[in-house]
Structure 1
């Protein structure tokens, strides 16, 4: 089905009811909202780049109508790849690059070893808003080559209030029934306000549009969204008196997925085999805490000091040896038998301390602000088998960075911003022995290899500069250049050490295989138009890197080479009247890289970096006088067909929902994939290749899901 045919076929729906995005996950055109992820107190009108804020109430409503947090974000944020339907974010890139996911400005996982599940672990009803800053940036250090996604959790209200959120969803049978309940209690004691939260969710079996069960581990070890049970507990507080304030929070969560059967990779799409799962359950457990002190009346202006810590343990699923899981650990030297304890567990502990000043610089121009400070951090990372054998070299990384950002209005119509960040990472890699391994299908043994560690430094100075020209009171033109800094997944380099060595007793130095740090340069131009009834944001960008990282999943190796990515995005929303909104979110992204280091980008970037070249969300919502709100969206992803890459099929999903005030609360109902379309998930299908067939491992998208939720505050 071509996109033009899609538009013709669903136009009546789009006119009547379309979008969860307008009421549930729609990017809000910011006006005067301060964006925390920028660290400068800036608002959208003064930013020479693309920023979106998605309100928490809209996110919670969208999830209550049946979407996952990852899918709601993908539908609402142009440039963010479609969600893959698993616990992790593999393939869900932002503008073809990695997105750094933060919670209250905290990076809960180490960039030294990718294993991100943040979007699947947070209770949506606890979210105040999500800020998306697009383009390469170093505002929070390592990792944001495609942009930042900052999840800001709710803080206590001024009144004493208790809120209860419940949700039920179901597909074809009783085993697909899922439920979620969350309770929040907010209470004020003079200058101190507290918020206590507790939530529990349980998910059932998932089915595709053909009515077939979707595997619990279609991506080999990632874990999926089915048959999980999770808990979240948290307390946050805010104390304020005069110029001083203290904000703090402590949270803990636990998730477990019980898998009944191994996946069947011999069918297309991936199915469920009749072989009982023999591994340990997929788990994810963590605790985190933060405290921020602010003083808005120091001699240097506003001061903010934040301390943060997180400790996380994550277990992947056990995977059978096959053409998809072809590189595996053996049960000792000289044998091809898989080690029953080779299921991986990741342990990460992160510490952060940041000091930020916002100093008025009226001596430059009236209203100028200099944001400056120092960040320090520490990451401790280990990945082990169930029996404690190291799968990667244990690592500790200490970092320190100094930064300064100037925002200055040159005239009434022109604002500029410019900044620098100098960063140093001191990485300590322990000696370890990469365990005995083998390659399935070829009978090749990869004897254990001793990896010699050491101490290594990564340094970078990155900057940004841009300007906004206020053409009229309603129109802005902006242009900007920004840089991001990233040290690619170091753990994966040590895990794959010696993957081409077939002689026992070999030694490799990490100095010979370590990845190079990459600096990503992003150039962006855009136009914003904002009135009471209409909002429009159009942007085009081009990004380059000399040390881009690409995983070849047919060989299990990671290479680094020059690459370039380009694209364009459109956000448009118009109110036809005070009750009826319509709009569209469009994005195009493509990229190439230099495979032979001759200075020419001669090949298309792999599908795992860009699973869909074009995405679109068409939306509308209508509010009736009696409080009933109808909404819906048509979500399109083109898939991808470039060069010799595997063809990824297009996706078309129609979602509808309604919300109605009932009693002292509100009832929400929704249907995702309204027409129960049987289709592949383009992002999930971009991740793995079957070594024996050379073809992509195709993964089905979720079929129609019915959901109902009720929210009550008292």
Structure 2
């Protein structure tokens, strides 16, 4: 299928939403962004909608909760709320799926989206997180709502060895098993060689709600062992050339053996039952996530006017889910994904003057993605899917008068997915009967499209910078889920068209005096054929394909009236509508599994002395009442449950004993509020109606050398 499409990788404004004094000031030419154009650029040159989560901010949030999805829900305004579980289901960005990267290596599995990609790394290994908001094609398949790029730590010293050691304990005020975590960072430089070694281990304790009752064991993070290792070696060949190799590995495994006591949706939560026993024979979690990368930079390839970057990578990923009885015989499933790829970037300076310059970035992306979902007993839930993606691209950037930035470019996507022969699973209907398994003959699915980008940013002065953009993504998300519920005998008969998202954005950002930073953004994204989960009478999830419009606003304010105090917050709101019959009538709504409730984030940070600071964060999720229950049964459909409002406060403080030693204390859910996360309500199922974590404290000791 051939289409000509205009697409923008990422265009808009930049937010540095932090709660640490040193990181709150706008860093004009000193702040660089890597993800927006796949090269280092000053924020003054990028017409991009980006949130940067800094290292100080990550560390501050780590004191409260080491779950990376929790850290992001408190720092990215337009990101959906965390489920509090091993899955990041429902944590969409601007109402659409997000592509997760580690140093540019894709972690997401768009062919069969398993919602485990956000939780693919320990935060101790991350230097910064760059979030590109809005549809993007710059990194290929899966970025319908944007990109989250975890940028791992690098050496920052000329010492032969330096390091950071951390140990901490977590616990709740109801007794039970404590949690423990430890991490070690070593870095240094020996002549032309520099290195980073990061190791982390965490063992979570019991997880109980505000009443001291065990949370449901389904996708629980309780009694989970997590391991993370990062090794990065860099060698400066000369002033212009550098080569870097790295390995990042992550694994998590839960040995929680707790039964389940199913509650009643909206009335009694499903809880962990100490007298019962788990039906799971394989520990939940992500047993492996191996990432290998080699990166080569040459700043002076052709007479000083062209630079070259080559980034080659490989990923080996497997994640394990909980027990399911929706198919015959029941069991646990795995998603297994292996990726190999390379990104080749050339950057040529066309001209450069005192006030203006122009450059062109061009190259080729290659990706091979092999993904499958299988049961523990060897049965296939999806067929083997083998995608080959080649994408040449070109991006032109012009900076005029140090005020106006214009970007535009082209990218040609060429994707072929080879699908193996398979038998669909016989699923169990709600009345206890079974659907019939059928044999499906595989084959090749071919996709190609010409995509482009265009956008501008006008820096009028420090007080106001304006931007406008049009952006698109082109993805073949969730083919595996479509195939596994097939009622056709060959893939040629299956509806598996791509998702094409058009994103329009307008906004402003600026700094008023030295004490107020702000941004405000509005956006609309459309797709002629979107994709939402729906649950049929056989309890199996299918993909609803229909035209969609998602629109919203978000904004941010930060105040620093005096040096020792800063405070601020953000607001985000979005809505999604769809035309189920493709007749232009957008009277139906995209369900709550994608459209999060309006959210307010607020914080205050006080630093009365140079060695002591104390802070308070607040998250308020508004009520979300967008659907009506079934008139005859009184029950909500999946994704349509009414979500009540809730407010959570987190407390954090640290004390620097001296330049080497620091103590930190964080308290999550400070007022021990008993509530249910949003996913428990919109899921609208008895087994998924669960409480959130009650009060939990974390105490950490840090040593730097």
TM-score (norm 2): 0.90
- Measure the CA separation in 1 of the matches of 2:679 and 2:465: 34
- Measure the CA separation in 1 of the matches of 2:352 and 2:240: 24
How far residue 486 of structure 1 moved from its aligned partner, in angstroms, is 1.4
- Measure the CA separation in 1 of the matches of 2:415 and 2:49: 29
Is 1:511 equivalent to 2:492 in the alignment? Answer: yes
Q: Which of 269, 280, 283 is residue 281 of structure 1 equivalent to?
A: 283
- What residue in structure 2 maps to residue 590 of structure 1? 575
Is 1:445 equivalent to 2:434 in the alignment? Answer: yes
Q: Which of 312, 315, 323 is residue 307 of structure 1 equivalent to?
A: 312
Give the secondary structure class of the aligned counterpart of 1:685. helix
Q: Which of 593, 596, 601 is residue 586 of structure 2 equivalent to?
A: 601
Q: Which of 253, 258, 261 is residue 261 of structure 1 equivalent to?
A: 258
- Measure the CA separation in 2 of the matches of 1:99 and 1:510: 26
Is 1:660 equivalent to 2:661 in the alignment? Answer: no
Is 1:567 equivalent to 2:539 in the alignment? Answer: no
Consecutive unaligned residues in structure 1, runs of 5 or more: 1-18, 218-222, 322-327, 331-337, 499-506
Q: Which of 453, 456, 469 is residue 467 of structure 1 equivalent to?
A: 456
- Measure the CA separation in 2 of the matches of 1:626 and 1:26: 15
How far residue 189 of structure 1 moved from its aligned partner, in angstroms, is 1.9
- What residue in structure 1 maps to residue 9 of structure 2? none
Alignment of 1:479-628 (within 5 A): 479-498=468-487, 508-530=489-511, 531-555=513-537, 556-612=541-597, 614-628=598-612
- Measure the CA separation in 2 of the matches of 1:207 and 1:521: 43
1:57-110 CA-partner distances (Å, limit 9, x unpaired)? 321221123352211211111111111111121000111011111100110243
How far residue 442 of structure 1 moved from its aligned partner, in angstroms, is 1.0
Is 1:34 equivalent to 2:32 in the alignment? Answer: yes
Residue 30 and residue 540 in structure 1: after superposition, are their counterparts in 2 closer, same or farther (change >3 A)? Answer: farther
TM-score (norm 1): 0.89
- What residue in structure 1 maps to residue 690 of structure 2? 699
1:2-26 CA-partner distances (Å, limit 9, x unpaired)? xxxxxxxxxxxxxxxxx99412998
1:188-213 CA-partner distances (Å, limit 9, x unpaired)? 22100111222110001211123221
- Measure the CA separation in 2 of the matches of 1:360 and 1:685: 53
- Measure the CA separation in 2 of the matches of 1:654 and 1:255: 28
Instruction: Check whether the contact 1:49–1:524 (CA below 8 A) recurs between aligned residues.
Output: no
1:14-46 CA-partner distances (Å, limit 9, x unpaired)? xxxxx9941299887552322111114333223
Give the secondary structure class of the aligned counterpart of 1:37. coil
Consecutive unaligned residues in structure 2, runs of 5 or more: 1-15, 629-639
Give the secondary structure class of the aligned counterpart of 1:208. coil
- Measure the CA separation in 2 of the matches of 1:409 and 1:378: 36
How far residue 396 of structure 1 moved from its aligned partner, in angstroms, is 0.4
- Measure the CA separation in 2 of the matches of 1:674 and 1:26: 25
Residue 136 and residue 209 in structure 1: after superposition, are their counterparts in 2 closer, same or farther (change >3 A)? Answer: same
What is the total number of aligned residue pairs between the two structures? 660
Alignment of 1:53-202 (within 5 A): 53-66=52-65, 68-158=67-157, 159=159, 160-202=161-203
Q: Which of 654, 660, 665 is residue 669 of structure 1 equivalent to?
A: 665
Give the secondary structure class of the aligned counterpart of 2:528. strand
- Measure the CA separation in 2 of the matches of 1:70 and 1:639: 21
1:114-167 CA-partner distances (Å, limit 9, x unpaired)? 123244342212110000111101110011111111000001233211221112
1:532-563 CA-partner distances (Å, limit 9, x unpaired)? 32211111111100110011124422121100
- What residue in structure 2 maps to residue 409 of structure 1? 399
Is 1:431 equivalent to 2:421 in the alignment? Answer: yes
- What residue in structure 2 maps to residue 502 of structure 1? none
- Measure the CA separation in 2 of the matches of 1:270 and 1:349: 35
Give the secondary structure class of the aligned counterpart of 1:62. helix
How far residue 187 of structure 1 moved from its aligned partner, in angstroms, is 3.0
- What residue in structure 1 maps to residue 300 of structure 2? 297
Give the secondary structure class of the aligned counterpart of 2:213. coil
- What residue in structure 1 maps to residue 349 of structure 2? 360
How far residue 56 of structure 1 moved from its aligned partner, in angstroms, is 1.8
